[in-house]
Amino acid sequence: MKTISKVLAAVLAVVLAVSTLLMSGCSTPAVAMTVDGKDYSTGEYLANLYSSYYNAYYNGGLYQYAQYGTDPWEQTMPYGEGDDAIDMKLADYLVQVTKDNIVRQKAVENLMEKYKIVLTEEKLQEVEDSLADVKESDLLQFGFSKENYKKAYIAGSLEEQTLFYGLYDKDGERALTDEEIRAFYDENYVAYKAISIAMVDNEGNEFSDAYKQATKDKLNGYLKQYEQSGDFDAVIAQYNADVEAEQAAAEAAESEETTAGEETAELTDEELDAALETGSTTAPETDATADAGEPTVYQAGEEELEATATSEAGEDVVPSDADADEVKDEAEAEEGEDAALLATATGTEEEEDSNLQLINSVSGDKAIVEAVQKVAENKAQIIEYTDSSNQLTAALVLRLNVDEQGGETYFDDQRQTCIYGMKFDEFDEEVKKEIEGLEVTYNDTAISMCDPKLFDTSDAA
């Protein structure tokens, strides 16, 4: 949420831009796009453009470029899929994504009519309640009305969510059975505790075979400790203490080496005279320790074997007005929520047991799920796996029962996540097929006047 001064700056920028257009005899066209015979006003387009900007710039983390003195608008974003993907400057990317989103909204609208699925009064009332305290004038200063923003939010989030679950959840035309959902849940959810160590350096290069073996030997020591005590939390605590001690020792050694180097680098008057006579000004040799090459096991970097059940960050119902730092905190707090299809699916509350991991292959790392599944429940085992980011890792894993660790309502809480994992690809293909049959025209003049940079009040804008 931007500060008042920043909001006023944005307002001034918009006013100046509009004033310039009026003075030059130009006016903003009323319609920005027409999709399948439906006109989308420039105000509706702007509201959708703002949502695209907010998601990419704040929830997507692009604001960090400005914080570190780099112009985010000079960054490129990949647009498209696979070999067809192209890199686009941020502003061009936001415009293209907004166009695509509006076309998709119309396709979803058509499918809702086809399957006779409508938004409930309860959902519509939730939107009204969210916008109740928003002043019309505040939104007009961004170039769009309260009504246009409400339309963009409903069409861009609630309608697709309603259509998808209206088809595949209870009482839907393609409703999945409880047995099908349970089978997917059993195959795609795991609970575990782990000690994990990366087998690669910071640049992704694998360590030597000798180092890898030393790592596994260390993990084997922790495995034996668990087999003797039966307390995996205590083993993790011991591992963390060992890591901390090893790092402290390494820092102390480095500090001692630096100090020794500084002390011996200063020559006495007698040493300097002797050096000048011989033509050498090299400092006397020291006993400082040389670089040992590969790091010890504990210096390798503790990469926890974890994958949080996160998905796309959802849209705010109203435009934000906070500084980037506040938005970052808000985005991190909202991590794991999806304002569209997974809005109510994750049911993620902070775990009291900080060592416990509950992940799934829908919103988590499928490679980690598959690796953990190789371990029998209530057994501890050393495994090696490569995660979805292509990082080789060795880990001591204690696999646990998902239902026991998740609690009585965990399966029910994950129902919509399971449905999403099972059927979204099928649903997405249907929407794309509907899009192919839509006739779309753009008013390039209107779209060119809606510059996403006008929303940015940072120094880079």
pLDDT tens for residues 219-274?
A: 999 999 999 999 999 999 999 999 999 999 888 888 877 766 665 555 555 554 55
At 193, give phi and psi (nearest 5°): -125, 150
Angle, CA 259 vertex, CA 256 and CA 261 arms, to 5°: 110
Query: Do the beta carbons of residue 359 and residue 365 sit within 8 Å?
Result: yes
Instruction: Report the SS3 class of residue 343.
Output: coil
Query: What is the reported pLDDT for 404?
Result: 96
Q: Which residue has the higher pLDDT, 314 or 245?
A: 245
With tokens 């697709």, the residue in question is 160
Instruction: Report the SS3 class of residue 383.
Output: strand
Here the tokens at position 374 are: 């190789």
* Pairing mode of beta strands 380-386, 357-360: unpaired
Query: What is the reported pLDDT for 264?
Result: 54
CB neighbours of 291 closer than 8 A, spacing ≥ 6? none
At 215, give phi and psi (nearest 5°): -65, -45
Distance CA 119, CA 207 (A): 55
With tokens 């900007």, the residue in question is 53
With tokens 């360590």, the residue in question is 207
- Percentage of the chain with pLDDT > 70? 73
Ramachandran sector of residue 25 (left: φ over 0; alpha: ψ -120 to 50; beta: rest): left
Q: Which residue has the higher pLDDT, 263 or 312?
A: 263
- Percentage of the chain with pLDDT > 90? 57
Q: Which of 21, 279, 317, 8 is nearest to 151 (CA)?
A: 317
Q: How far lies 310's CA from each of 413, 438, 452, in Å? A: 15, 33, 27
- In the predicted model, is pLDDT for residue 382 greater than 80? yes
At 323, give phi and psi (nearest 5°): -65, 165
Q: How far lies 458's CA from each of 46, 108, 449, in Å? A: 19, 35, 20
Query: What is the reported pLDDT for 452?
Result: 92
Here the tokens at position 12 are: 């001034």
Bridge partner residues of 193 (DSSP): 398
* Pairing mode of beta strands 86-89, 38-41: unpaired
Query: Do the beta carbons of residue 375 and residue 170 sit within 8 Å?
Result: no
Query: What is the reported pLDDT for 348?
Result: 44
Hey, CA dihedral for 389, 367, 403, 424, is it positive or negative? positive
Hey, CA dihedral for 351, 357, 358, 362, is it positive or negative? positive
Distance CA 193, CA 181 (A): 25
